[in-house]
């Protein structure tokens, strides 16, 4: 486990002198944490601080690697606090004098299967030394591709085993013989200790002082109750009560607690999978036990921060075959369960096609460019859908009807049909066979294969002369955007209401219909928005035209209102900036992240734009160490390309209270860290109140924005028509002395 | 000085919910530690096991071992009576699956009659689960609560959409105990308890039914919801979450393919009944470890095993 960068930062001089070669103390500490630079590069770190650091930053539980698996390394007692990292491993016990040892090993091999991308099998064999050729057995275990654990108090046996392999656990040391066992095993293999938590503490403490930190604890006692107590107290003391000496993985041997009772062993294996067993030893593992226990383990050890995803692919439902129609949707697990459930209820055979959309819902994925005609085409190629399925009817989710033309163009052999908007309508839709007529109509209306229109250009410089921009109407909406000082310290509100997720806007953008867009712009400007966000969706076929049109439309009608250009289509952003007027502020590129969208920083740098930089790669950052790591990666990239640090606006990613209440303070603290480094920040603040009653949302949003502004947040992407939040922001600007007070300061 | 691990019982504790009457009355909850943390403090009450008897059991309990246990029982009340013999059984959970309007749509009158017969046939306390149809359950629980006044049964469950009807009848008018069911989300669980309390249902007449899933089927949400409810109830002393948790396990675990797929289709998987038992045991054990004060199980073998585990882990005052 990595040392925590933020802990180092607390002890650093925080003077940002740059003498170490890093731009800030924070950046330096993050690099130290990653092991990229030695802490001694900082001339001002005191000896005391360095000594303190090695202690304070040691992880609460060591990670022990043996037999190809990592054990331990946990940092929390409950998975919702962050995540568990090292899944419980299962072992089958084998007595060294067992005449049927070969059969036992064969039986172990029988259970070996895959479950949601994970190999499920018995990872270890626990050999109990009852005399005979223990070392020979270890060799057989290793040959079978399993890790070996040997329980012995015989040093000669231990030596013989070590001659075969040192990648083993040798357990059996207790208060009476640990010195002798350590003399043989220490420094070579992992040594297993037995005893009460107090005994384990003393032995481990002595061994650590003798520099042996390759340990595991066998916490098995005489009774189930005592064993559970040992397992919990060892783990809890290490993680909660800072008894780091107890921070080692634990073995629980169920063959001693419930010999001959496989059902009881299953019950206890489940208990110790949930509560703190690193290796659970059983008498046998057949499919009956494995299917349940491995399923449980996979659930308990999933990362709560990662979106729930199902595997992309073809899911034939209700006995569907190659002649059944296809329905397409995204890999967000809730979407999958809802859609597949409704299809099953219809009893109609359908091939459900699940495409990789990073675990986002249909509209969110579409708006983020993760569910587009190109991703669908890629999916069809990768999974060879056309070879596997003969039926050519492809039903799209109704919410992305706008993609129909683009998908039809990319999959000319298919008959693309728009399905229902909501899953609950699916049963009726399939039973009524509405799609059959629609597919026939689609087949008829298709243009001949050789005239599918001009190819979509995605590479090379944009030829601006060739862009055909529809007319820009000039309509008096009764609102003017007031001239603004781009260097003003006042809080920057970015109005979020011109967004293609809104059906009205989607429709308007599809038809280059100016009025609905201008109407929303006028409402937001009137309400006091500083910037307007312009989300045109993925706009794969006409991004540059659409963005050019939208930028000119808004800026020409509203006195060069500054804009945030929001699309996954980079060429569209480039084209938008090409016609952008900077009088009231630079354009904002919305957005880059530290993962697959990092290149949007390059785009901003090349065009002297501001970029919103999401402090995440794939999925939400698990803690502020990770957030700050992403922040500094992006900061360094931008500055390396000549950007001002203040042109990167860092987004900590606001999290929804209903579901991630315990992470809200992390977000607030991240904002403070950005501010402490002189960095600007922004984000979709109203996400916090998603799903809350509509009368509660403005209260939550305004309270949060006040707390955020205290922490140093400089901007937010919000709905400016929420008066309460806008008044709170204005009032905070008064307190921050960015806006001069008058009795009627709220009359904006 | 030898190392002494810190122990930490909480000041707050889980409410004690009583179901049934007389000698066989059952106390759920009442503890002030995380499940089985007896080194922090000795438990007030053991977690309990309810035996699920579906009103479709005669047709649906087809596994040979299960069938042979109920050999000779040709009515639901006879099965319920027999179920009391399973070691570790502490209440009977009658499930009115056939009441579903999209299924057999058994009438409310017939359901009430069956529930009365079962109640008369058994000595253990009774929990009655509905058919998951919002309107039908509201009607069922109203009539059943009225018919069984004085029996102190647990109705499973009221949901946000029908809590007013069920809370008012079962909880207020007829003095029964009410499960409050939400979909694996601590915020929803708290919300439902809050509005039930606002309705006037007493805190010690409510059980939390925080949702359920079989191991491997999104069980992580159940685990974290139970963990968080117990932490909120004990550590943060949140009175709106201090009700004992009742988790139906068998209805989930006996429906997944690990328990149902015939051996012919996947020979190496072996006997489906054994798979089903281990699935039920695994899920029940995990629920108890995370915070369920009672689980509802079906197979005598699973019940015996889980009861044995509970006994091995607890030493009631």
Name the maximum alpha-carbon separation found in chain B: 70
When CB atoms are compared, the residue of B223, B305, B312 closest to A263 is B305
Instruction: State the pLDDT at residue A365.
Output: 86
How confident is the model over A258-273, as pLDDT tens digits?
Answer: 999 999 999 999 999 9
DSSP string, A193-231: EES-HHHHHHHHHHHHHTT---EEEE---SSHHHHHHHH
A453 contacts: CB under 8 Å, gap ≥ 6:
A409, A447
Among candidates A667, A682, A330, A340, which has minimal Cα distance to A496? A682
Across the interface, whether the CB atoms of B215 and A299 are under 8 A apart is answered yes
Tell me if B29 sits within 8 A of B208, measured CB to CB.
no
Contacts of B36 in chain A (CB under 8 A): 228
Among candidates A84, A480, A349, which has minimal Cα distance to B220? A84
In the structure, what pLDDT confidence band is assigned to residue A313 with cuts at 50, 70 and 90? Answer: very high
Please tell me the distance from the alpha carbon of residue A319 to that of residue A353, in angstroms, as a whole number. 15
Where along chain A do its domains lie?
5-56, 64-300, 313-450, 488-735
Give the side-chain half-sphere CA count within 13 A for A644: 10
Question: Quick one: residue B280, left, alpha or beta (phi over 0 = left, psi -120 to 50 = alpha)?
Answer: alpha
Tell me if A720 sits within 8 A of A493, measured CB to CB.
yes
Please tell me the distance from the alpha carbon of residue A275 to that of residue A353, in angstroms, as a whole number. 38
How confident is the model over A104-147, as pLDDT tens digits?
Answer: 999 999 999 988 778 999 999 999 999 999 999 999 999 999 99
State which residue of chain B sits closest to A301, comparing Cα positions.
Answer: B220
State which residue of chain A sits closest to B215, comparing Cα positions.
Answer: A296
Query: How far apart are the CA of A290 and the nearest CA of chain B, in angstroms?
Result: 9
Tell me if A561 sits within 8 A of A532, measured CB to CB.
yes
Give the side-chain half-sphere CA count within 13 A for B146: 14
Query: How far apart are the CA of A496 and the nearest CA of chain B, in angstroms?
Result: 28
- Burial of residue A705 (CB within 10 Å: 0-12, 13-18, 19+) is buried
Residue B247 or residue A443, greater confidence = B247
Please tell me the distance from the alpha carbon of residue B23 to that of residue A13, in angstroms, as a whole number. 70
Contacts of A664 in chain B (CB under 8 A): none
| pTM, full prediction | 0.84
| From the candidate CATH numbers 3.30.70.141, 3.40.109.10, 3.20.20.20, 3.90.79.10, the one assigned to the domain spanning A488-735 | 3.20.20.20
Please report which helix (H) or strand (E) contains residue B191, including its range.
helix B186-199
SS3 category, A412: coil
Across the interface, whether the CB atoms of B305 and A232 are under 8 A apart is answered no
Tell me if B156 sits within 8 A of B91, measured CB to CB.
no
Whether omega before B157 lies within 30 degrees of 0, making that bond cis, reads yes
Tell me if A579 sits within 8 A of A545, measured CB to CB.
no
For chain B, what percentages of helix, strand and coil (3-state, to nearest 5) are there?
Answer: 45, 15, 40
In the structure, what pLDDT confidence band is assigned to residue A460 with cuts at 50, 70 and 90? Answer: confident
Tell me if A253 sits within 8 A of A125, measured CB to CB.
no
Q: Where are the beta strands (DSSP E) in A81-206?
A: 89-95, 112-115, 118-121, 124-128, 147-151, 168-173, 190-194
When CB atoms are compared, the residue of A80, A223, A287 closest to B227 is A80
Interface with chain A: mutation pick from B282, B288, B307, highest number of A CBs within 10 Å = B282
Across the interface, whether the CB atoms of A241 and B6 are under 8 A apart is answered yes
**A102-105 contacts at long range (C-beta below 8 A, 24 or more positions apart):** A102/A140, A105/A140, A105/A141, A105/A144
Contacts of B3 in chain A (CB under 8 A): 197-198, 201-202, 237, 243
Instruction: State the pLDDT at residue A79.
Output: 95
How confident is the model over A670-696, as pLDDT tens digits?
Answer: 999 999 889 999 999 999 998 899 999
Tally A–B CB contacts below 8 A: 163
Q: Where are the beta strands (DSSP E) in chain B?
A: 16-19, 26-29, 48-54, 91-95, 126-129, 154-158, 177-181, 206-209, 246-248, 294-297
How confident is the model over B148-200, as pLDDT tens digits?
Answer: 999 999 999 999 999 999 999 999 999 999 999 998 999 999 999 999 999 99
In the structure, what pLDDT confidence band is assigned to residue A54 with cuts at 50, 70 and 90? Answer: low
Query: How far apart are the CA of B153 and the nearest CA of chain A, in angstroms?
Result: 29
SS3 category, A640: helix
SS3 category, A579: coil
Average pLDDT over residues B128-147: 96
When CB atoms are compared, the residue of A228, A300, A659 closest to B220 is A300
Q: What are phi and psi of A658, to 5 degrees?
A: -75, 90
State which residue of chain A sits closest to B308, comparing Cα positions.
Answer: A264
Average pLDDT over residues B12-41: 96
Contacts of B39 in chain A (CB under 8 A): 229, 232-233
Q: Where are the beta strands (DSSP E) in A568-609?
A: 588-593
When CB atoms are compared, the residue of A78, A263, A273 closest to B301 is A263
Contacts of B218 in chain A (CB under 8 A): 299, 308, 333
How confident is the model over B45-94, as pLDDT tens digits?
Answer: 999 999 999 999 999 999 999 999 999 999 999 999 999 999 999 999 99
When CB atoms are compared, the residue of B227, B269, B312 closest to A287 is B269
State which residue of chain B sits closest to A234, comparing Cα positions.
Answer: B5
Mean pLDDT, chain A, as a whole number?
91
How confident is the model over A514-567, as pLDDT tens digits?
Answer: 999 999 999 999 999 999 999 998 888 899 999 999 999 999 999 999 999 999
Tell me the two tokens of residue A258: 């419930």
User: How many CB atoms lie under 10 A from the CB of residue A31?
Assistant: 21
DSSP secondary structure letter of residue A482:
P
Q: Which of A328-337, A380-389, A435-444 reaches the highest mean pLDDT?
A: A380-389
Give the side-chain half-sphere CA count within 13 A for A638: 31
Tell me the two tokens of residue B232: 């909120």
When CB atoms are compared, the residue of A271, A288, A291 closest to B285 is A271
Please tell me the distance from the alpha carbon of residue A474 to that of residue A479, in angstroms, as a whole number. 13
How confident is the model over B232-283, as pLDDT tens digits?
Answer: 999 999 999 999 999 999 999 999 989 999 999 899 999 999 999 999 999 9
Instruction: Give alpha helix (H) positions in A216-312.
Output: 224-239, 254-257, 262-274, 287-300
Contacts of B258 in chain A (CB under 8 A): 291-292, 295
In the structure, what pLDDT confidence band is assigned to residue A359 with cuts at 50, 70 and 90? Answer: confident
Query: How far apart are the CA of B234 and the nearest CA of chain A, in angstroms?
Result: 15
Give the side-chain half-sphere CA count within 13 A for A116: 16
Contacts of A225 in chain B (CB under 8 A): 38, 312-315
Report the topology of domain A313-450. Rossmann fold (3.40.50)
Instruction: State the pLDDT at residue A620.
Output: 81
Please tell me if the domain spanning A5-56 has the same topology as the one spanning A64-300. no
Domains annotated for chain B, with CATH where assigned, are: 25-312 (3.20.20.20)
Across the interface, whether the CB atoms of A293 and B308 are under 8 A apart is answered no
Instruction: State the pLDDT at residue A3.
Output: 58
State which residue of chain B sits closest to A302, comparing Cα positions.
Answer: B220
Please tell me the distance from the alpha carbon of residue A141 to that of residue A124, in angstroms, as a whole number. 8
Q: What are phi and psi of A99, to 5 degrees?
A: -65, -25
How much of chain A, in percent, has pLDDT values that exceed 70? Answer: 96
Across the interface, whether the CB atoms of A274 and B223 are under 8 A apart is answered yes
A319 contacts: CB under 8 Å, gap ≥ 6:
A349
Contacts of A197 in chain B (CB under 8 A): 3, 5
Across the interface, whether the CB atoms of A267 and B313 are under 8 A apart is answered no
State which residue of chain A sits closest to B258, comparing Cα positions.
Answer: A291
Q: Which CATH architecture has domain A5-56?
A: Orthogonal Bundle (1.10)
Residue A208 has pLDDT above 90, yes or no: yes
When CB atoms are compared, the residue of B185, B274, B282 closest to A296 is B282
State which residue of chain B sits closest to A233, comparing Cα positions.
Answer: B5
Query: How far apart are the CA of A79 and the nearest CA of chain B, in angstroms?
Result: 7
B279 contacts: CB under 8 Å, gap ≥ 6:
A291, A292, B214, B215, B253, B254, B256, B258, B259
Interface with chain A: mutation pick from B43, B215, B287, highest number of A CBs within 10 Å = B215
Q: Which residue has the tokens 């606002």?
A: B198
Contacts of A302 in chain B (CB under 8 A): 220
Tell me if B125 sits within 8 A of B157, measured CB to CB.
no
Please tell me the distance from the alpha carbon of residue A107 to that of residue A242, in angstroms, as a whole number. 42
Residue A221 has pLDDT above 70, yes or no: yes
Among candidates B125, B212, B126, B206, which has minimal Cα distance to B163? B206
Please tell me the distance from the alpha carbon of residue A228 to that of residue A277, in angstroms, as a whole number. 9
Average pLDDT over residues A298-303: 93
Please tell me the distance from the alpha carbon of residue A160 to that of residue A42, in angstroms, as a whole number. 48
Instruction: State the pLDDT at residue A103.
Output: 94
Which class is A64-300 in CATH? Answer: alpha beta
Name the maximum alpha-carbon separation found in chain A: 95
Give the side-chain half-sphere CA count within 13 A for B78: 8
Across the interface, whether the CB atoms of B275 and A225 are under 8 A apart is answered no
Average pLDDT over residues A500-517: 94
User: How many CB atoms lie under 10 A from the CB of residue A733?
Assistant: 19
Please count the residues of chain B: 317
- Report in angstroms the alpha-carbon separations of A596 from A171, A380, A623, B259: 46, 21, 20, 41
State which residue of chain A sits closest to B279, comparing Cα positions.
Answer: A292
Residue A1 has pLDDT above 60, yes or no: no
In the structure, what pLDDT confidence band is assigned to residue A77 with cuts at 50, 70 and 90? Answer: very high
């Amino acid at each position: 486990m990595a040392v925590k960068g933020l802990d180092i930062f607390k002890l650093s001089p925080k003077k940002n002198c740059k003498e170490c070669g890093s731009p800030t103390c924070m950046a330096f500490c993050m690099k130290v944490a990653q092991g990229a630079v030695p802490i001694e590069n900082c001339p001002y770190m005191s000896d005391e601080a360095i000594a303190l650091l090695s202690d304070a930053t040691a992880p609460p539980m060591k990670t022990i690697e043996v037999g190809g698996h990592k054990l331990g390394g946990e940092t929390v007692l409950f998975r919702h606090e962050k995540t568990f990292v090292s899944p419980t491993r299962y072992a089958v016990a084998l007595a060294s004098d067992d005449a049927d040892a070969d059969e036992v090993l064969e039986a172990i091999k029988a259970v070996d299967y895959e479950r949601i991308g994970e190999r499920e099998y018995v990872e270890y064999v626990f050999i109990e030394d009852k005399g005979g050729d223990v070392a020979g057995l270890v060799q057989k275990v290793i040959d079978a591709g399993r890790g070996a654990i040997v329980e012995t108090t015989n040093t000669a046996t231990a030596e013989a085993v070590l001659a075969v392999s040192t990648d083993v656990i040798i357990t059996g040391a207790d208060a009476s013989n640990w010195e002798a066992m350590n003399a043989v095993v220490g420094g070579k293999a992992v040594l297993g200790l037995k005893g009460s938590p107090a005994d384990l503490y003393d032995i481990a403490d002595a061994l650590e002082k003798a520099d042996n930190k390759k340990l595991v604890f066998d916490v098995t006692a005489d009774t189930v109750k005592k064993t559970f107590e040992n397992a919990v107290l060892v783990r809890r003391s290490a993680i909660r009560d800072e008894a780091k000496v107890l921070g080692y993985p634990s073995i629980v041997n169920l063959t001693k607690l419930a010999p001959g009772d496989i059902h009881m062993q299953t019950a206890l294996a489940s208990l110790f999978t949930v509560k703190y067993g690193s290796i659970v030893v059983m008498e046998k593992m057949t499919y009956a036990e494995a299917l349940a226990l491995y399923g449980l383990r996979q659930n308990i050890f999933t990362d709560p921060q990662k979106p729930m995803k199902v595997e992309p692919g073809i899911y034939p439902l209700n006995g569907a075959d190659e002649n059944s129609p296809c329905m397409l949707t995204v890999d967000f697990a809730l979407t999958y369960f809802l859609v597949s459930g409704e299809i099953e209820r219809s009893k109609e055979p359908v091939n459900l096609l699940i495409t990789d959309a990073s675990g986002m819902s249909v509209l969110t994925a579409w708006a983020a460019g993760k569910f587009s005609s190109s991703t669908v085409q890629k999916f069809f190629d990768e999974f060879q859908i056309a070879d596997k399925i003969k039926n050519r009817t492809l039903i799209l989710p109704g919410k992305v009807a706008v993609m129909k033309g683009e998908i039809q163009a990319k999959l000319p052999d298919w008959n693309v049909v728009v399905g229902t908007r909501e899953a609950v309508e699916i049963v009726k839709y399939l039973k009524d066979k509405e799609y059959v007529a629609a597919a026939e109509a689609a087949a008829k209306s298709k243009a001949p294969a050789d005239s599918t229109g001009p190819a979509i250009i995605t590479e090379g410089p944009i030829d601006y002369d060739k862009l055909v921009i529809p007319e820009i109407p000039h309509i008096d909406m009764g609102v003017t955007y007031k001239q603004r000082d781009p260097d003003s310290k006042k809080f920057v509100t970015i109005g979020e209401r011109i967004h293609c997720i809104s059906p009205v806007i989607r429709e308007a953008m599809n038809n280059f219909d100016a009025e609905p867009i201008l109407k929303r712009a006028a409402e937001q400007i009137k309400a006091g928005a500083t910037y307007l966000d312009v989300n045109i969706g993925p706009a794969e076929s006409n991004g540059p035209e659409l963005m050019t049109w939208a930028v000119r439309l808004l800026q020409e009608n509203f006195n060069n209102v500054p804009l945030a250009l929001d699309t996954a289509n980079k060429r569209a952003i480039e084209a938008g900036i090409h016609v952008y007027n900077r009088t009231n502020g630079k354009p904002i590129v919305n957005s880059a992240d530290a993962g697959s969208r990092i290149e949007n920083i390059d785009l901003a740098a090349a065009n002297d734009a501001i970029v919103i930089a999401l402090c995440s790669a794939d999925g939400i950052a698990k803690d502020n160490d990770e957030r700050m790591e992403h922040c500094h990666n992006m900061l360094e990239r931008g500055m390396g390309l000549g950007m001002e640090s203040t042109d990167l606006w860092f987004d900590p990613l606001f999290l929804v209270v209903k579901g991630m209440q315990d992470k809200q303070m992390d977000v607030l603290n991240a904002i403070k860290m950005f501010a402490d480094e002189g960095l600007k920040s922004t984000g979709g603040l109203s996400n916090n109140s998603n799903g809350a009653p509509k009368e509660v949302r403005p209260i939550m949003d305004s309270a949060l924005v006040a707390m955020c502004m205290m922490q140093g947040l400089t901007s937010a992407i919000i709905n400016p028509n929420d008066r309460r939040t806008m008044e709170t922001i204005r009032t905070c600007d008064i307190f921050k002395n960015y806006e001069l007070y008058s009795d009627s300061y709220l009359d904006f | 000085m030898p190392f002494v691990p810190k122990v930490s019982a909480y000041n707050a504790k889980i409410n004690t919910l009583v179901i049934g009457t007389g000698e066989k009355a059952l106390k759920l909850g009442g503890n002030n530690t995380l499940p089985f943390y007896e080194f922090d403090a000795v438990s007030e009450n053991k977690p309990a096991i309810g035996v699920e008897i579906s009103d479709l059991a005669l047709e649906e309990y087809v596994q040979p071992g299960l069938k042979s246990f109920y050999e000779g029982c040709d009515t639901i009340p006879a099965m319920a009576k027999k179920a009391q013999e399973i070691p570790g059984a502490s209440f009977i959970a009658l499930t009115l699956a056939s009441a579903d309007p999209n299924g057999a749509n058994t009438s409310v009158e017939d359901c009430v009659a069956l529930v009365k017969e079962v109640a008369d046939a058994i000595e253990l306390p009774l929990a009655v689960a509905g058919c998951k149809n919002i309107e039908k359950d509201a009607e069922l629980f109203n009539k059943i609560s009225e018919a069984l006044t004085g029996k102190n049964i647990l109705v499973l469950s009221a949901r946000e959409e029908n809590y007013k009807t069920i809370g008012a009848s079962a909880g207020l008018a007829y003095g029964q105990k009410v499960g409050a069911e939400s979909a694996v989300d601590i915020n929803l669980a708290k919300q439902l308890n809050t509005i039930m309390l606002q309705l006037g249902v007493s805190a010690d007449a409510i059980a939390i039914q925080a949702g359920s899933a079989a191991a491997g089927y999104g069980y992580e949400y159940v685990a974290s919801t139970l963990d968080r409810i117990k932490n909120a109830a004990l550590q943060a002393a949140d009175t709106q979450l201090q009700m004992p948790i009742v988790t139906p396990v068998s209805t989930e675990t006996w429906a997944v393919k690990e328990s149902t797929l015939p051996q012919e289709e996947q020979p190496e998987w072996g006997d489906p009944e054994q798979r089903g038992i281990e699935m039920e045991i695994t899920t029940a054990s995990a629920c108890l470890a995370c915070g369920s004060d009672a689980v509802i199980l079906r197979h005598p073998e699973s019940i015996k095993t889980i009861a044995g585990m509970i006994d091995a882990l607890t030493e009631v005052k």
